[in-house]
Amino acid sequence: MQRTLVLIKPDAVQRGLAGRLISRLERRGLKMVALKMLQTDRALAHRLYAIHEGKPFFEGLVDYICSGPILAAVFEARSAVEVVRRTMGETDPAQASPGTIRGDLALDIGRNLVHGSDSVENAQMEIGLFFTEDEILDYPRESDRWISG
């Protein structure tokens, strides 16, 4: 089973959308196996966004992700990484299709509400930045047989 890291970013928390965004992923059928609220410090933000270091938007991105509380969650599904990315929509909300989180609820690339890992390898690394192994729960879900056949 694949796992992916989801962050409900500070703009989503400030706009009162956090629960609704978690709910959209739950309703899709993804299984939530870890969840916490925290405020990212700059060291953690640098590790999360290391691949963007040096880009013109990097400092603004670090300021943004550290600017208020976020939710960090781990979701599980057979293709969790791709399913979450497609549910979020394009990075730039102006390009995101209606029906996606960003396409329905956001306008600006600098305030795009959510983060989802972009590969299985990055998901593993990113989950490790936010959760210890014992914070990720392994539990049966009665609805599973109605979601996957």
Residue 86 Cα to chain centre, angstroms = 12
Q: Which of 81, 93, 115, 126 is catalytic?
A: 115
Determine the residue with CB nearest ligand IDP: 91
Q: Is 120 in the site for ligand IDP (CB under 6 A)?
A: no
Sole window of 27-35, 61-69, 82-90, 110-118 interacting with Mg ion (rule: CB under 5 A): 110-118
Q: Is 115 a catalytic residue?
A: yes
Angle at 95 between CA 80 and CA 70, to 5 degrees: 50
Q: Is 4 in the site for ligand IDP (CB under 6 A)?
A: no
* CB nearer ligand IDP, residue 104 or residue 118: 118
Q: Give the amino acid at 142.
A: E
Sole window of 20-28, 39-47, 106-114, 130-138 interacting with ligand IDP (rule: CB under 6 A): 106-114
CA distance readout (Å), 100 to 1, 44, 86, 111: 24, 27, 7, 15
CA 62/CA 123 separation, integer angstroms: 19
**Of 69, 82, 110, 135, which one interacts with ligand IDP (CB under 6 A)?**
110
Residue 44: CB partners within 8 Å, gap ≥ 6?
A: 129
Would you say 45 and 80 are in contact if contact means Cβ atoms under 8 Å apart? Answer: no
> Judging by DSSP bridges, how do beta strands 31-38 and 114-116 pair with one another?
unpaired
Binding-site size for ligand IDP (CB under 6 A) equals: 9
Least distance in Å: CB of 106 to ligand IDP? Answer: 10
- Residues marked as catalytic: 115
Binding region for ligand IDP (CB under 6 A): 52, 57, 61, 91, 109-110, 112, 115, 118
Binding region for Mg ion (CB under 5 A): 118
